[in-house]
Amino acid sequence: MKNEITIRPAKNHDARKIFNFLCELEEQLFDQQEFEINYRLCLADINNIYLVAAGTDNVAIGYISCHGQILLHHGGMVFEVQELFVEKPYRNKGVGRQLLKGLEGYLNKRAYKSLEVAVNKHRASARKFYISEGFEETHVKLVRAPHPPKGGEGK
């Protein structure tokens, strides 16, 4: 299996596959036009790394995205895995590990303080995967949706 898979930078032509990956991962249908705009913005940002696992036909079978930002409380650049997805027929065959190793290859060329990942609490297998890859559970992530303006605010 490993010899059939190559890890390469994501390109504009991968947008449709990655859109489908994310819809499956998040179990919802995103707005494709909005996705395409955001995807191209993400690819253009020098602090983002988007990699694809491609089969022998060079079609994406999985991908990983990682965003970097300078965090003052970390004293420098911190990267965070945003998404990691592998199509069902290729799961548990080392493709996720190859994507993570490919990401590390890119990160090793950069100065950074840490690589982080937040995992949905319902994805126990993803949590186990990251722990097996050397990530430690050090934080709890809390999320709040935006509040709509109250009364006449914002008008």
Q: In what order do the strands lie in the sheet with 48-54?
A: 6-9, 48-54, 60-71, 76-86, 114-117
- Decide if 29 is inside a domain: yes
- Decide if 47 is inside a domain: yes
- Decide if 109 is inside a domain: yes
Q: Which residue, among 121, 118, 64, has the nearest Cα to 95 in the 3D structure?
A: 64
- Decide if 151 is inside a domain: no
Residue 154's pLDDT band (cuts 50, 70, 90): low
Domains in the chain, number: 1
Q: What is the pLDDT of residue 140?
A: 87
Residue 60 is part of which domain span? Answer: 2-132
Residue 152's pLDDT band (cuts 50, 70, 90): low
Helix 15-26, helix 32-44: angle, nearest 10: 110
- Decide if 90 is inside a domain: yes
CATH code of residue 39 = 3.40.630.30
- Decide if 126 is inside a domain: yes
Is the predicted pLDDT of residue 118 greater than 50, yes or no?
A: yes
pLDDT tens, residue by residue, 12-32: 999 999 999 999 999 999 999
- Decide if 145 is inside a domain: no
Q: What is the pLDDT of residue 4?
A: 86
pLDDT tens, residue by residue, 80-108: 999 999 999 999 999 999 999 999 999 99
- Decide if 64 is inside a domain: yes
